[in-house]
């Protein structure tokens, strides 16, 4: 398996209505055998990046390496075309060739691709790929007669069968229904790990990203915002935008009163690492970190609020807590606390601190 690295990649689309800066200097690596997920909101440039890596789009500047091989570079000018790069790719639309059977779909790249196999080898290879995605027996089914999930598997089998240097996938699960998505997601990861494949996977769904990734590459507006293992991004986002993207945050803005204590909309809050007295901070607290209590326990960072909204979501509830300065969202697992006055605690160690140079999204409330 081969690793992948991208340096200073930029791409501008020039259209009649102006230019779109889709990528503004992306640096990233995917180690051999690593499952990397490109995560970002709609229009952030994920597909563009993936297509540049695949060779379907020509970047404006930067460099792309596949292992040791430079497949794109602006200086000296190098552009290896897509058919010579040797990736396997799964598209959002699956791109199953509708005029062929399942077998033919998987076999075509093996018969006519740059890495041609002998005819007798093809049969075995296709059968093996189909077995991996559990489609044995459907070989001769015409492609249009497959269900969405089966088409998805054929696309995967086709990408696997070429023994690609690395697999590229662009939102391969977004056309499946929620339940199927979860099981196929699991299978894809299993398979990738079993085959020790290098994978670059695009999604805008943070749950999917966390479930799949060895490492998440979060991009926004054509820039890499942060990369790291899922829990690192979730717990230690370096940027309010990252934090916000990975899940709901309660935002508090405050000023350090004295070492370790910050004056916020909730009141005085004890915060780790609040050193410089007088400076401003942005604090984030995840809903599941807020501990609700029917009676005060006298711990530090405890406040009083009123539950004004209480939404049942099966395995948990979302409660809106109204306090004089701020309305917070808390996730409650376990017994319902109804409406009315409650006490809640914000554990000091769970507060995410952003320093003022990170001007991020602040919840307007």
Partner 1 sequence: MIGPAVGNDTTRPFTGRLKIDARLLLASVGWLPVVLVAGLVVVVVWLSFQVITPGQSANFGWRAYRELYGDPFVYQTLLNTGWFALLSVAVALFFGVVAAWLVERTDLPYKNVLFTLMTTGVLVQGFITAMGWVFLLHPRIGLMNKAIASIHGMEWATVDIATPMGMGVIQGLALAPLAFMMVAATFRSLDPALEEAAAVHGMGLISTLLRVTLPLAFPGILAAGIYISTIGIAAFDVPAIIGLPNRVFMFSTFLYFRVQPEFGAPRYDLAGAFSTLMIFLSLLLSWLYIQVVRYSHRYAVVTGRAYQPKPVELGRTAWLAWVFLGFYLLLGQILPTLVLLWNSLLPYFQPISWSSLDIISFSNYHNLPWSHLLESARNTGILMVSVASLTLAFSVAISWTVTRSDLAGRFVLDAGAFLPHAIPHVILAVGANYVALFLVGKALPIYGTIYILLALYVLAWMSFGTRVLNSAILQVHKELEEVGKVSGIPLLTCLRKILVPLIAPAMVNAWLWMALLSYRELTMASLLVTPHNLTFPVFIWSLWMEGSITRAAAASVLGLACMIPLVALYWVFGRRASGSDTAI
Ligand X SMILES: Nc1ncnc2c1ncn2[C@@H]1O[C@H](COP(=O)(O)OP(=O)(O)OP(=O)(O)O)[C@@H](O)[C@H]1O
Q: Which residue's entry shows tokens 């009676």?
A: 295
Q: Which stretch binds ligand X (CB under 6 A): 25-33, 43-51, 231-239, 307-315?
A: 43-51
Nearer to partner 1 among residue 66 and residue 225 (C-beta)? 66
19 binds ligand X (CB under 6 A): no
SS3 for 346-364 is CCHHHCEEECCCCCCCCCC
Pick between residue 91 and residue 261 the one whose CB is nearest to ligand X: 91
Largest Cα–Cα separation, the chain? 77
Rounded distance between C-alpha atoms, residue 57 and residue 52, angstroms: 5
Nearer to ligand X, 16 or 359 (CB): 16
d(CA 161, CA 89): 11
What DSSP assignment string belongs to 56-89?
A: SS--SEEEEEETTEEEEEETTEEE--HHHH-EEE
Place of tokens 């935002």: 251
Residue 129 tokens, joined = 């790929």
Compute the least distance from the CB of residue 178 to partner 1, in Å. 24
Stretch that binds Mg ion, among 41-49, 73-81, 264-272, 289-297 (CB under 5 A): 41-49
Taking CB under 6 A as the criterion, which residues in 122-161 touch ligand X? none
**Smallest distance, Mg ion to C-beta of residue 57, A:** 12
Stretch that binds Mg ion, among 45-53, 126-134, 145-153, 334-342 (CB under 5 A): 45-53
Shortest gap between Cβ of 165 and partner 1 (angstroms)?
6
Which CB, 112 or 179, lies closer to partner 1? 112
The answer to whether 268 and 276 are in contact (CB under 8 A) is: no
- Write b or e for each residue in 316-325: b if 16 or more Cβ atoms lie within 10 A of its Cβ, otherwise e: ebebbbeeee
Interface residues with partner 1 (CB under 8 A) are 54-56, 58, 81-89, 91-93, 95, 97-99, 108-109, 112-115, 117, 121, 124-125, 128-129, 132, 155, 158-165, 168, 195
Q: Which of 4, 9, 36, 46 lies at the binding interface for ligand X (CB under 6 A)?
A: 46
In whole angstroms, the minimum distance from the beta carbon of 157 to partner 1 comes to 9
Q: Are strands 199-203 and 69-74 parallel, antiparallel or unpaired?
A: unpaired
- Within 196-225, the residues that bind ligand X by CB under 6 A are 204
- The rounded distance, in Å, linking the Cα atoms of 342 and 2 is 55
Beta strands 4-15 and 61-66, pairing class: antiparallel
Q: Which residues bind Mg ion (CB under 5 A)?
A: 47
Q: Which residues bind ligand X (CB under 6 A)?
A: 13, 15, 20, 22, 40, 42-48, 204
């Amino acid at each position: 398996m081969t690793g992948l690295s991208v340096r200073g990649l930029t791409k501008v689309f020039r259209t009649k209505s102006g230019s779109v800066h889709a990528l503004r200097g992306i640096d990233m690596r995917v180690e051999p055998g690593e499952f990397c997920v490109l995560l970002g909101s709609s229009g952030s440039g994920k597909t563009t990046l993936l297509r540049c890596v695949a060779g379907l789009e020509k970047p404006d500047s930067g460099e792309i390496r596949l292992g040791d091989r430079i497949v794109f570079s602006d200086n000296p000018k190098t552009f290896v075309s897509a058919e010579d790069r040797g990736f396997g790719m799964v598209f959002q639309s699956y791109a199953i060739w509708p005029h062929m059977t399942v077998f033919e779909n998987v076999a075509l790249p093996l018969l006519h691709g740059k890495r041609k196999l002998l005819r007798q080898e093809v049969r075995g290879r296709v059968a093996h790929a189909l077995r991996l995605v559990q489609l044995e027996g459907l070989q001769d089914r015409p492609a249009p007669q497959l269900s969405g999930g089966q088409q998805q598997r054929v696309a995967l089998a086709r990408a696997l069968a070429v023994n690609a240097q690395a697999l590229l996938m662009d939102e391969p699960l977004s056309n499946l229904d929620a339940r199927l998505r979860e099981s196929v997601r699991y299978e894809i990861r299993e398979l990738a790990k079993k085959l020790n494949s290098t994978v670059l996977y695009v999604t805008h769904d943070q749950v999917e990203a966390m479930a799949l990734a060895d490492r998440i590459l979060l991009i926004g507006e054509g820039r890499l915002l942060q990369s790291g293992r899922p829990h690192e991004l979730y717990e230690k986002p370096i940027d309010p935008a990252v934090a916000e993207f990975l899940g709901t945050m309660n935002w508090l803005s405050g000023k350090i009163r004295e070492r370790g204590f910050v004056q916020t909309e909730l009141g005085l809050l004890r915060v780790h690492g609040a050193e410089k007295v007088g400076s401003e901070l942005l604090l984030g607290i995840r809903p599941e970190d807020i501990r609700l209590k029917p009676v005060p326990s006298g711990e530090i960072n405890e406040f009083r609020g009123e539950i004004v909204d209480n939404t049942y979501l099966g395995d948990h509830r979302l409660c809106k807590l109204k306090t004089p300065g701020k309305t917070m969202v808390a996730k409650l697992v376990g017994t319902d606390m109804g409406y009315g006055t409650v006490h809640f605690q914000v554990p000091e160690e769970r507060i995410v601190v952003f320093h003022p140079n990170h001007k991020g999204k602040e919840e307007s409330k």
